[in-house]
Amino acid sequence: MKNSLHIYNTLSRKKEHFEPWQPPFVGLYACGPTVYGNAHLGHARQAVTFDVLYRYLTHLDYKVRYVRNITDVGHLENDADEGEDKILKKARLEKLEPMEVVQQYMNAYHRNMQELNVLPPSIEPRASGHIIEQQQLVKKIIDTGYAYETNGSVYFDVLKFNEKYAYGKLSGRKIDELLGNTRTLEGQSEKRNPIDFALWKKADSSHIMKWPSEWSEGYPGWHLECSTMSLKYLGENIDIHGGGLDLLFPHHECEIAQNVAGSGKEGVKYWMHNNMITIKGQKMGRSLDNFITLDELFEKGHRLVSRTFDPMVIRFFILQAHYRSTLDFSEDALSASEKGLQRLQDALFILDNLQASSKGVVNAEELNEKCIRAMNDDLNTPVLISHLFDGVKTINSVQEKRISIDQENLDHLKDIYNTYVHSILGINPFVKDSSTTGISDKLIESILQLRQKAKQRNDWDTADEIRNTLQKMGISIKDKKDGVDWEFM
């Protein structure tokens, strides 16, 4: 049962049985962020998707080496080969040294990932930290004849590659169509063909992030880093390479071409892509002004939502859709997820305090098998969650003494929820960890309820005492017609 994981391979357009090259070892590479701005919902979805994969593979007892990179150089605007480096542009606008920009947004990304309970990868290599290795791969590709130098820049020769191999294999694009779609932009005359892509770019004199090479003082092309770093840390046979669907073309297509041209091997056995987040049906983008960062969602607020949401709600919201479906964002959808998560968390509380009977009718293993089947079916988290909600009904029925459960099944049930909710879905337990804000809020609400009851029985001394106690702790309360508001002063 445990070994029947199937995952959808973008390369074959099919669900395939997952068999790593060298079990029990699994090499997993997922594209990380270009650190020139705050992380947004799209970053959250990609990170959570591959975090759950990482967690599930680990749960299946695979020894996973998970590599997720940081792009801190070479990613030009519009993902093209011309234009300004995204980080340099930000550095210019914010008048900072580029590496200060990188550090600032990398730290912010790490903070957001921690808030989302995304586990850190085993290795998090940075593009700027692997310039020599990238230059070595460029040399190899020149040596095999699939790259050429023009004016100090080196380009990948797509047409020549396509004569022997299939460029477009992963994304399903056809060379002829690609050729028809390209526009010739200024400076592209360096390329033999507009669909060639840069491996090494000569830097102009004002460019700050550049390194010496045998071709020019320059910097690596964006696609090159992922080929280089996956090769360095996972070898030529990588089990899984993941990323957002927006990276499928040209980024991943170019990676395959680089791998094949450099080593003769495609490198990756399973390509996995998570789908995009839409905002009320529209694509999310800076240009559409519907761009929501995680900081805005968690604490700062945004015009598209009337309030902020706990990071665990966002995580749960993401997991309630299958990773290959688009996920439409709206406040209503988030609020629904919040209620669902609350119901699940409440059930976990109840479960923790449930009493077993000498005999019972609950069969926990049935639920367990359904959960395994859902996860083994291409990480079907929405189905998994629906099974867990079925179990919530069972838990509530036991609590209400409408049905009974024996000790063995109770223990098994606790184990199932702990495993799936906490270990695999990565939902933080709420209460036992007193460092989450959740508990303080809950405690304050409880104290206020006590005060409310004291007032109802005209016990004004207790009511005042509670108010004073809270005030001493920096919490102010305000009586309203329909209840009480409170806030940290």
Binding site for a second copy (CB under 8 A): 65, 97, 99-100, 102-103, 107, 110, 120-126, 128-132, 136, 211-212, 233, 349, 352-353, 431-432, 434-437, 439-444, 446-447, 449-450, 453-454, 459, 462, 465-466, 469-474, 488-489
C-alpha to C-alpha distances, 192 to 141, 144, 147, 187, nearest whole angstrom:
16, 17, 10, 12
Alpha carbon distance 220, 295 (integer Å):
31
Nearer to a second copy, 80 or 132 (CB): 132
Of 103 and 182, nearer to a second copy (C-beta) is 103
Contacts of 175 (CB under 8 A, 6+ apart): 158, 159, 162, 167, 168, 195
Establish how many alpha carbons lie within 13 A of residue 300's alpha carbon, considering only the half-sphere containing its beta carbon: 9
Length of the chain: 489
Residue 117 exposed, middle or buried by CB count within 10 Å (0-12, 13-18, 19+):
middle
- 277-279 vs 282-283, strand pairing mode: antiparallel
Smallest gap from residue 475 Cβ to a second copy (A): 8
Nearest distance from C-beta of residue 22 to a second copy, angstroms? 15
Closest distance of CB 125 from a second copy, Å:
7
Q: Minimal CA–CA distance to 161: which of 257, 40, 85? A: 257
Nearer to a second copy, 124 or 246 (CB): 124
Q: How far is the CB of 162 from a second copy (least distance, A)?
A: 31
**3-class secondary structure, 310:** coil
Burial status of residue 177 (CB atoms within 10 A of its CB: 0-12, 13-18, 19 or more): exposed
* 404, 398 Cβ separation under 8 angstroms: yes
Nearer to a second copy, 199 or 470 (CB): 470
Q: Which of 212/285 has CB closer to a second copy?
A: 212
State both tokens at 82. Answer: 């011309």
Shortest separation between residue 290's beta carbon and a second copy, angstroms: 29
Could you write out the DSSP letters of every residue in 187-232? TGGGSSSTT-EEEEEEPPTT-SS-B--SS-SEEE-HHHHHHHHHHH
Q: What's the min distance (Å) between Cβ of 431 and a second copy?
A: 4
Q: Which is nearer to a second copy, 343 or 453 (CB)?
A: 453
The smaller minimum CB distance to a second copy, of residues 229 and 362, is found at: 229
**In the bound complex, what is the minimum distance in angstroms from residue 128's beta carbon to a second copy?**
6
Asked if 42 and 284 touch (Cβ cutoff 8 Å), the reply is: yes
Element (H, E) at 395: helix 381-399
250 close to 170: Cβ distance less than 8 angstroms: no
Q: 3-class DSSP state for residue 103? A: helix
What's the min distance (Å) between Cβ of 97 and a second copy? 7
- Nearer residue to a second copy within complex by CB, 84 or 441: 441
Cβ distance to a second copy smaller for residue 122 or 397: 122
Shortest distance (Å) from residue 26 CB to a second copy: 14
